[in-house]
Amino acid sequence: MAKEPERLSASQRSKIRRLSAPKELAADEEGGELNIVPFLDIIMNVLMFVLATVSVTFTATIDTFPPRAGGSSPRPPTTPTLGFSVLISGDGMGLKASGGNVAPGCNGTGSGLAVPKVNGEYDYATLKACANKLKHASPDFAGESSVVIAASPNIPYQVVISTMDAVRKAENGDELFPEVNFGLPR
């Protein structure tokens, strides 16, 4: 037969309860363990933010210049300049050079849009060809590198960027007008 376990006395049970109860730490003993979970939460949040925004820091940039107050240079140039300008409107692009407005099709001077829209889309290939033709129209214009781009208020941002890209380089990769200045449409 199995032997019955011994019963504990009241004083033994009291001592066990007293010893197994959690002890209150003294004021100088508090903080024996460092809780780093909140610190790790903050580090993870910062890390996720940095990873999410790192792609923004590697975008390409194009140096541009805002319109100048007064709109003209203080002294007129001593050599002939092209003074190339592109005005983007809802119907196409008007071009101006030293001789005045560029005629449609980039053939001489005259009124009208030099590069009208084709099937409702802006024609950047014709703009690039016209800019190349104007730059090489005279040896005096070989050193020209700036263009003024002005757009009507309702023109989408992407159209302005595509226009900048079209006048910056020729089809063969030569630089046309890499210095872009923004103007105000008049």
Contact 149/164 with Cβ under 8 angstroms? yes
- Cα–Cα distance for residue pair 163/88, rounded to 1 Å: 9
* Among 72, 137, 86, residue whose Cα is nearest residue 115: 86
Residue at 77: amino acid letter? P
**What does the domain layout of the chain look like in residue ranges?**
80-182
- pLDDT per residue, tens digit, the chain (186 aa), is 567 778 888 898 888 888 888 777 666 666 567 788 999 999 999 999 888 877 665 566 666 666 666 655 555 556 677 888 899 988 899 888 877 888 888 888 888 888 888 898 998 988 898 888 888 888 888 788 888 899 888 999 899 999 998 998 888 878 888 888 888 766
Beta strand pairing status for 179-182 and 115-116? Answer: unpaired
